[in-house]
């Protein structure tokens, strides 16, 4: 029984979500191999070989794999998938894009957002925006899963010494072409990996206010900035800051929700945080029902006050 983890990487380094996925793969009970499919990605493959618990790295290098196009990456995974009992992807935008494609081509079901490995064929996953936890058993020969990264600790990035093996590159599908990428510049910690998150909602009122009020607090705490869907839809914050059922799922040590009412869709993304602080002037806001510490106050006075007292 061997598990194959599809590494998420930028061709130079391995992304953090891969490390949590490796921990989940180890919990499935066998050896763990990692596939690094990319272009000029030798550095990423070498980094993958250093990860504790990994026994082999498969490295596929070709121009058609440069940007993680689902069509080409799925074909590549399929080309090496024979013999593996488990194929795991991180439940990131990239992993969710490719994993079901691989599962369908293998004619097996896929398990999304696995939060716990109970045994080699039985897993836990949240449904209904995290309002219920399902225990699911797979009857398929190969288990294809995406792993919710906040459900598993990160494997140590060093300490391993796996062999790197080059594998043949699958042909280009010819059906899709990568256009361009626009990555928001961000010198803060990555939202899904941050220890502290400061998050804002509709109550901030504008993009200027959002940045003006929350940035100093995030700077002071070394925190990432997040947002509710309402704030994102209103244009106060970029899309990829959205925390919730359909945005990012986070579980930091400290989550500070400022001017967020706490709709179920938002709670789905952050209720596994260790400590939740809510600052809201509406005493009836549902966010107070999950907050460890609630402060009923106007955020425009409370947040600056908080900054100055830290």
Partner 1 sequence: MKVLVPVKRVVDYNVKVRVKSDGTGVDIANVKMSMNPFDEIAIEEAVRLKEKGVATEVIAVSCGVTQCQETLRTAMAIGADRAILVETDAELQPLAVAKLLKALVDKEQPGLVILGKQAIDDDCNQTGQMLAALAGLPQGTFASKVEVTGETVAVTREVDGGLEIVKLNLPAVVTTDLRLNEPRYVTLPNIMKAKKKPLEVVKPADLGVDVTPRLKTLKVEEPPKRSAGIKVADVAALVDKLKNEAKVI
- Judged by CB under 8 A, the chain residues 7 through 46 that form the site for partner 1 are none
293 forms part of the interface with partner 1 (CB under 8 A): yes
Residue of 82, 83, 284, 309 that binds partner 1 (CB under 8 A): 309
> With binding defined as CB under 8 A, does residue 265 bind partner 1?
yes
Restricted to residues 222-241, the positions that interact with partner 1 (CB under 8 A) are 229, 232-233, 238-240
Binding partner 1 (rule: CB under 8 A), the pick from 81, 155, 196, 270 is 196
Task: Please pick, from the candidates 110, 150, 228, 261, the single residue that binds partner 1 as defined by CB under 8 A.
Answer: 110
Instruction: Single out the residue of 7, 67, 1, 68 nearest to residue 34, CA to CA.
Output: 7
Under the criterion CB under 8 A, does residue 120 sit at the interface with partner 1?
A: no
Half-sphere exposure of 225 (CA within 13 A, CB side): 26
In the bound state with partner 1, the residue whose beta carbon lies nearer, of 160 and 210, is 210
Using the minimum distance from each CB to partner 1, give the nearer residue, 127 or 168.
127
Q: Which is nearer to partner 1, 83 or 174 (CB)?
A: 174
- What would the two tokens of residue 46 be? 């070498």
64, 99, 150, 228: which one binds partner 1 (CB under 8 A): 99
The answer to whether 189 and 162 are in contact (CB under 8 A) is no
- Scan for tokens 């013999």, then name that residue: 83
Nearest Cα to Cα of residue 285 among 267, 273, 303, 304: 267
**Spatial separation of the C-alpha atoms in residues 133 and 34, rounded to whole Å:** 29
Give the total of residues touching partner 1 (CB under 8 A): 89
The residue assigned the tokens 């763990």 is 32
Q: How far apart are CA 101 and CA 75, in angstroms?
A: 9
DSSP type of residue 128: T
Whether the CB-CB separation of 84 and 1 falls below 8 Å is answered with: no
Q: With binding defined as CB under 8 A, does residue 2 bind partner 1?
A: no
Token reading at 269: 């993304």
Q: Distance between CA atoms of 55 and 287, rounded to whole angstroms?
A: 44
Q: Which residue of 170, 245, 260, 285 would you call a contact of partner 1, by CB under 8 A? A: 245
H helix or E strand, kind and range, residue 145: strand 143-147
On whether the CB atoms of residues 216 and 304 are closer than 8 A, the answer is yes
Among 48-56, 58-66, 107-115, 154-162, the segment contacting partner 1 (CB under 8 A): 107-115
Question: Least distance to partner 1 from the beta carbon of 40, Å?
Answer: 19
Q: Are 231 and 173 in contact (CB under 8 A)?
A: no
Of 49 and 295, which CB lies nearer to partner 1 in the complex structure? Answer: 295
Distance CA 139, CA 224 (A): 40
**Residue 103 binds to partner 1 (criterion: CB under 8 A):** yes
Does position 92 interact with partner 1 (CB under 8 A)? The reply is yes
Token reading at 175 = 């059906």
Residue 294 interacts with partner 1 (CB under 8 A): yes or no: yes
- Of the pair 133, 163, the CB lying nearest partner 1 is at 133
Instruction: In angstroms, give the least distance from the CB of 42 to partner 1.
Output: 23
Q: What is the dihedral of CA 26, 27, 28, 29, to 10 degrees?
A: 70
Q: Smallest gap, in angstroms, from Cβ of residue 52 to partner 1?
A: 24
Q: Does 74 bind partner 1 (CB under 8 A)?
A: yes
138 binds partner 1 (CB under 8 A): yes
**Least CB distance to partner 1 at residue 74 (A):** 7
* Contacts to partner 1 from residues 143-182, by CB under 8 A: 173-182
């Amino acid at each position: 029984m061997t598990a194959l983890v599809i590494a998420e990487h930028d061709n130079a380094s391995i992304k953090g979500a891969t490390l949590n996925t490796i921990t989940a793969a180890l919990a499935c009970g066998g050896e763990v191999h990692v596939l690094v499919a990319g272009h000029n990605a030798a550095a990423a493959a070498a980094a993958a070989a250093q990860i504790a618990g990994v026994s082999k790295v498969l490295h596929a290098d070709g121009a058609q794999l440069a940007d993680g196009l689902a069509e080409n990456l799925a074909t590549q995974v399929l080309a090496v998938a024979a013999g593996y009992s488990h194929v795991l992807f991180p439940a990131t935008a990239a992993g969710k894009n490719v994993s079901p494609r691989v599962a369908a081509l293998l004619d097996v079901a896929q398990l999304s957002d696995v939060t716990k490995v109970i045994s080699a064929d039985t897993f836990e996953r949240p449904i209904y925006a995290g309002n219920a936890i399902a225990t699911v058993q797979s009857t398929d020969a190969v288990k294809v899963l995406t792993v919710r990264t906040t459900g598993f600790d990160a494997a140590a990035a060093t300490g391993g010494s796996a062999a790197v093996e080059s594998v043949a590159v699958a042909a280009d599908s010819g059906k899709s072409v990568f256009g361009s990428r626009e990555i928001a510049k961000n010198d803060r910690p990555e939202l899904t990996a941050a220890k502290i998150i400061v998050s804002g909602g509709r109550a901030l009122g504008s993009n200027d206010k959002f940045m003006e009020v929350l940035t100093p607090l995030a700077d002071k705490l070394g925190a990432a900035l997040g947002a509710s869907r309402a704030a994102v839809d209103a244009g106060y914050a970029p899309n990829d800051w959205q925390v919730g059922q359909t945005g990012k799922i986070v579980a930091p040590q400290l989550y500070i929700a400022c001017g967020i009412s706490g709709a179920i869709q938002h709670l789905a993304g952050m209720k596994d945080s260790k400590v939740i602080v809510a600052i809201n002037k509406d005493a009836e806001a549902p966010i107070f029902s999950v907050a460890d510490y609630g402060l009923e106050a106007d955020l425009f006075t409370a947040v600056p006050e908080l900054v100055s007292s830290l």
